[in-house]
Amino acid sequence: MKYKRILLKLSGEALMGDQQYGIDPERLSMYAGEVKSVVNQGVQVGIVIGGGNIFRGLQGAARGMDRVQGDYMGMLATVINSMAIQAELEKQGVPTRLLSGIAIDPIAEAMSRKRAIDILNEGKVAIIAAGTGNPFFTTDTAAALRAVEIEADVIMKGTRVDGVYTADPEKDPSAVKFDVITFDEVYEKGLNIMDLTAITLCRENKLPILVFNMNIPGNLGRIIAGEAVGTVVNG
């Protein structure tokens, strides 16, 4: 087993499937099944999900909404997505606990490092919602922060492409995929993997990021087994 404790970062948009907004039940079920497969192998899993399928604070701000208010609305969108993945995991027999960066009793417990690690050590999936609990920080940064807090071996960023490329492979057919890339190269090439705050936090804490296609069934398990899937960012 290559990784014993992971932080899985999923975008809210990934939950839409082929829909224009909201949550696709089939995509949700598939993701939960992927998580279940590695939990059954003894892997400890933390999950952070974005909220872009429901609301984005930056988009609200661009339309004239107060940025802080918009960011809090975005945090609540992540709570909805986190509740959805929690419900589906529990439906599939995977025990979970939902933590939150902002107090939302009785839906979620307050996030604390000790509580999250205790949950993982109990063999349950720790789903951590509401970003960092502060405006002006993305869920990418929240994922990096939570991964450092729970002492994860790696952040696994599940996307719809199979790794990091020199350019957007969906727009540029000549784009070349990296198998391994350093944090310095990410800075120098201006690659849009995660925002710079998240990248810096990972770099300072020597926490690798693995970017992979979450929409290919079995990919998560292949990575845990040590297969070369996606792109590893480290160094």
Question: What is the 3 state secondary structure string of 145-166?
Answer: HHHHHCCCCEEEEEECCCCEEC
- Predicted confidence at residue 57, as pLDDT, reads 65
For residues 67 and 121, what is the distance between their CA atoms, to the nearest angstrom?
A: 37
The CA distance from 75 to 69, in Å, is 10
- At residue 10 the predicted structure's pLDDT band, cuts being 50, 70 and 90, is very high
Question: According to the model, what pLDDT value does residue 209 have?
Answer: 98
State mean pLDDT over 62-74.
88
> Please, which pLDDT band fits residue 233 given cuts at 50, 70 and 90?
very high
Using pLDDT thresholds of 50, 70 and 90, give the confidence band for residue 60: low
Q: pLDDT over 90 for what percent of the chain?
A: 86
Q: Where are the alpha helices (DSSP H) in the chain?
A: 25-39, 57-62, 67-91, 113-121, 139-149, 183-189, 196-204, 219-224
- Which amino acid, 199? I
Cα 42 to Cα 4, 46, 120, 125, 151: the distances in Å are 7, 13, 10, 11, 16
Alpha-carbon span 114 to 96, nearest angstrom: 16
Residue 136 has pLDDT above 80, yes or no: yes
pLDDT value for 227: 95
Q: Which domains does the chain have, with CATH numbers?
A: 5-234 (3.40.1160.10)
Query: What pLDDT, on a 0 to 100 scale, did the predictor assign at position 83?
Result: 98
What are the backbone angles phi and psi of residue 65, rounded to the nearest 5°?
-75, 150
61 has pLDDT over 80: no
Dump pLDDT digits (tens) for 176-221: 999 999 999 999 999 989 999 999 999 999 999 999 999 999 999 9
